[in-house]
Structure 1
């Protein structure tokens, strides 16, 4: 397999033992870029008994913890010396993870909240960590994990290698990197056409109240095997999934209030094509890798322009092509123009026969029949009460 640009740049830098600050788009092979050299470093070192934790990878969500641990496990299968890799995350009982840590581990992929819980239970120590990786560092801070990261950092050795990997690096991530990294190798893979995933981005104009009808029409006309539909709220996910189910479409909601077992089961069904449509909140925008997912659809636009990249990045992965569709109505046109400006896009507006929009101005909020609110602006620097509540909920579900 030909290495990707981020892998070509990052692997030698990591093998040299220095810190790395790497920005590369979603689906560019970031996990292998840090996993392969770290596996080599661990295998070259003298094996220890009992094992001590030497590599700590912090991630924002449960699904990303599971996925990353599984991916590293597959890469490590060819090694003659067995390595123990554990995924540590909340939403499930802590006891099996405590049992799994008996005898130590070489690599831990963890969400911050559950990691601290395990440290407090004396299930593992961070004093032997030689490499810290922050994967999706922007999301870690956006979800309000700054305090937890601070508590983790004071328990790590001062002399260590630190690696930051993410698709985007806003100001707060750069500030954290400036405090943590020592003369890092800076890697920025430009979004050149040859580096971009093959994602066809479409914008369809439709009145907000007719989005579900249009979604059903598109599913019927295009016969897509699987579609990941993004919405703004838990209520919208459940409401739309129920409407599709009543129309004879195999659909399920997916959001942070499901138990981890339920989330695993729903994702397994979707990956196995037992479900045609997964209607998800932004819990699915990061870290969920679904092979050959043909279509992502923004039923609601993402509130943050940054999250647009992560949503559409669920398709067009690993060299495959994909389609990303956004529904835009009168009250969200200005917001999508801002998304276009932030990402240097210019998307043609389409209209589907029979679903041509008639609204020309943003309608008054009425609690709407068709499921979910639309956002007319991008999240600002000052957090609203709703932002803080969402952040708290995200932190709880990602423990």
Structure 2
């Protein structure tokens, strides 16, 4: 199958050919015809499968045959969870539309809003945006959706993980009802399907990669190592293996900064990219990494979304992720388009639980290799025999909320407290009717105690 057989016009085919692509990937072969037919699509696709071109190419084909975009209007809206992914998708759109009379724009937070407002005065056939900045621009009347034809939610699973569901619902509420909807996600979780119910209509469902599976061309293994020795082990691997380019994942922003400083002290050119960095710093770090000026890019999971580098040879898990699915997302940065890649994880004894979850999710025991001179003092426990993954049970419908009685705390029923009986209620009623009586506490009579005839003094107010 060729791109020409999918019904794309000559300018798009030339742009694709200039990028060196000859045959569509499985996700492209299925998604492009469905989008061209105007159908709603739900596609499960991991990073590196070519999904961006899977929706970009047919959208450009459809828009090229439509009316000219008006001022402040948008004809196709692509929502992404992070700035980096928005920028990357924007580059793809601009590349493939170079020979078409179409315009595109990218808007995200972390930079000044005024230039974006000025840009949107011309309108954009394709707008790539993060949810928060899009709402800001809409509320300032810089963006209108009267001409909107297509909505794309890219990496919808990550949007939900990052808490964008409220913003997404606000955006959906102001869009025209008559539109084409495309939803792309790594998996079709229960939460994604719940979101899809109010979004897509009779969608074509596409799933081209086994769930939670990495590309077969990626070689995976772990190095058992003590937690405090991880930076030294990483530096040793970089220098001895002569890695020219590696993407390293840490669990925290501060951890990324500390590791970058450690590597820089050893003359290993490195840069960190995470949420606390300014947009300018993140863009510069990514550009330097792509150009080869920076050898090691240290990133957190969220910031790494949108990092799209051809032939990235190594991905290193300096810290294992808390969520096993993120392991698959991480190592999906290497081994793209049939190329070979390596995924190396530095694992300490404290991360045994995370390692077990990853091995169970991917249904494979990761090989172990000790680094010479760094035998861990605290041994990493052996992997358990793999158990097959159980299918998730459908969630039980929530019980109808029971209205609480007067005087009962709202959480009493949920916490297992008994409901107030009639007797205490009547007692409270009686006390309520005697409002005119003094409410002060009666002085207690002197009572003998077990230790002597000491009397208890009445409490006095401070």
TM-score (norm 1): 0.87
Indicate conservation of the 8 Å contact 2:359/2:365, yes or no: yes
CA distance in 1: counterparts of 2:98 and 2:216, whole angstroms? 28
Deviation at 1:195, TM superposition (A): 9.2
Deviation at 1:335, TM superposition (A): 1.4
Q: Match of 1:301?
A: 320
For the residue of structure 1 that corresponds to 2:174, the secondary structure is coil
Deviation at 1:159, TM superposition (A): 1.3
Are 1:155 and 2:155 matched, yes or no? Answer: no
Q: Match of 1:389?
A: none
Indicate conservation of the 8 Å contact 1:20/1:185, yes or no: yes
Q: Match of 1:284?
A: 303
Indicate conservation of the 8 Å contact 2:72/2:120, yes or no: no
Say if 1:214 and 1:38 are closer, same or farther in 2 by CA, change over 3 A: same
- Aligned partner of 1:267 among 271, 283, 286: 286
Q: Match of 1:205?
A: 224
Say if 1:29 and 1:93 are closer, same or farther in 2 by CA, change over 3 A: same
CA distance in 1: counterparts of 2:189 and 2:370, whole angstroms? 35
Indicate conservation of the 8 Å contact 1:51/1:106, yes or no: no
CA distance in 1: counterparts of 2:314 and 2:333, whole angstroms? 9
Deviation at 1:193, TM superposition (A): 13
Indicate conservation of the 8 Å contact 2:72/2:144, yes or no: no
Q: Match of 1:394?
A: none
Q: Match of 1:30?
A: 51
Deviation at 1:169, TM superposition (A): 2.5
Are 1:333 and 2:352 matched, yes or no? Answer: yes
Deviation at 1:128, TM superposition (A): 2.3
Are 1:173 and 2:192 matched, yes or no? Answer: yes
Deviation at 1:171, TM superposition (A): 1.5
Question: What pairs with 1:45-84 in structure 2 (closer than 5 Å)?
Answer: 45-50=66-71, 52-79=73-100, 82-84=101-103
Say if 1:211 and 1:226 are closer, same or farther in 2 by CA, change over 3 A: same
Deviation at 1:361, TM superposition (A): 7.2
- Aligned partner of 1:17 among 38, 41, 46: 38
Say if 1:135 and 1:193 are closer, same or farther in 2 by CA, change over 3 A: closer
Of 281-290 and 204-213, more deviation after overlay is shown by 281-290
Deviation at 1:356, TM superposition (A): 1.5
Deviation at 1:220, TM superposition (A): 1.1
Post-superposition Cα deviations, 1:277-312, rounded to whole Å, max 9, x if no partner, equal 111111333211122221110000111111111111
CA distance in 2: counterparts of 1:356 and 1:349, whole angstroms? 12
CA distance in 1: counterparts of 2:277 and 2:214, whole angstroms? 36
Say if 1:192 and 1:101 are closer, same or farther in 2 by CA, change over 3 A: closer
Post-superposition Cα deviations, 1:325-349, rounded to whole Å, max 9, x if no partner, equal 1111111122111111112222111
Of 111-120 and 286-295, more deviation after overlay is shown by 286-295
Deviation at 1:153, TM superposition (A): 0.4
Indicate conservation of the 8 Å contact 1:197/1:317, yes or no: no
Post-superposition Cα deviations, 1:7-53, rounded to whole Å, max 9, x if no partner, equal 11111111111110000121000000001110000011133454731
For the residue of structure 2 that corresponds to 1:349, the secondary structure is coil
> What is the aligned residue count?
361
For the residue of structure 1 that corresponds to 2:342, the secondary structure is strand
Q: Match of 2:421?
A: none
Are 1:320 and 2:342 matched, yes or no? Answer: no
CA distance in 1: counterparts of 2:37 and 2:204, whole angstroms? 10
Indicate conservation of the 8 Å contact 2:215/2:335, yes or no: no
Which structure's relative contact order is higher, taking Cα pairs within 8 Å and 6+ residues apart? 1
Indicate conservation of the 8 Å contact 2:213/2:362, yes or no: no
Are 1:356 and 2:356 matched, yes or no? Answer: no
Say if 1:48 and 1:239 are closer, same or farther in 2 by CA, change over 3 A: closer
Q: Match of 1:123?
A: 142
CA distance in 2: counterparts of 1:199 and 1:134, whole angstroms? 28
Say if 1:222 and 1:360 are closer, same or farther in 2 by CA, change over 3 A: closer
Indicate conservation of the 8 Å contact 2:72/2:121, yes or no: no
Of 49-58 and 342-351, more deviation after overlay is shown by 49-58
CA distance in 2: counterparts of 1:65 and 1:25, whole angstroms? 17
Deviation at 1:104, TM superposition (A): 0.9
